[in-house]
Structure formats: C-alpha cells, structure tokens
C-alpha cells in the first residue's frame, strides 16, 4: 500500500526547515515526495534474504598516498607575516561575546 505524502506534512516540514513555500510548491512537493515513497516501497517487495549488504556497489580502494614526513615551516617562519601573534600562535580578533554559549 503506497503511502501518500499530503500537503499538511509538506507544510510541517517546511515550517521546521524555515522554508517559505507557496501553494504551487506545496502541491508539487507533495506529488514528488509521494512518487519517491512509492518507488522505495516497490523495493520492499524484493526478496533480499540472500543478498549481502553493501556499503558501496563498486569496489573501493584507498587512493590516498601514505603519510610521509616532509620539511615544513618553522613556527617563526609561519608567524613571520602574521599581522599579530602571541606566544607562538596567530592572534585573531574576538568574535564571540563573553556570555556566548558557543
């Protein structure tokens, strides 16, 4: 049984996401999401008892190179052109207030 995504659900999701949708968009999204749910429900009809779960359908290999230690800037060189620094660190303007919870 295909589940319909009705316009009230679209309105609720839009409100939670802080989206302003007009009536045409609400009707369109309701139809589109209902079609997506119907397609997914068709997949539930398949017998997957003997199918092994996959993370990816293609073989995936690590394409990154091995980490190698290479020469780098010294702390003094890195801070040489910094507009402001203190105690070996870049000094930047404060952007949070003292009573901020962030």
Distance, in Å, from the CA atom of 51 to the CA atom of 4, rounded to the nearest integer, reads: 29
Domain with 12 in it: 7-43
**Count of domains in the chain?**
1
Cross-strand bridge partners of residue 16: none
Inside any domain, residue 75: no
Inside any domain, residue 64: no
Give the pLDDT confidence of 61-71 residue by residue, as tens digits: 777 888 899 99
- Which of 14, 16, 53, 15 minimizes the C-alpha distance to 33? 14
Inside any domain, residue 101: no
Neighbours of 12 (CB within 10 A): 11
What is the pTM assigned to this prediction? 0.47
Distance, in Å, from the CA atom of 92 to the CA atom of 95, rounded to the nearest integer, reads: 9
Inside any domain, residue 87: no
Output the pLDDT for position 83.
92
Question: Which of residues 1 and 65 earns the better pLDDT score?
Answer: 65
């Amino acid at each position: 049984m295909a589940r319909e995504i009705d316009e009230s659900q679209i309105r609720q999701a839009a409100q939670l996401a802080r989206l302003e949708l007009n009536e045409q968009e609400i009707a369109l999204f309701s139809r589109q999401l209902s079609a997506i749910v119907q397609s997914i429900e068709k997949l539930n009809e398949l017998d997957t008892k003997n199918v092994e779960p996959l993370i990816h359908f293609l073989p995936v290999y690590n394409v990154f190179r091995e980490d190698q230690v290479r020469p780098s800037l010294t702390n003094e060189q890195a801070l040489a052109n910094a507009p402001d620094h203190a105690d070996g660190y870049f000094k930047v303007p404060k952007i949070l207030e003292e009573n901020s919870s962030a």
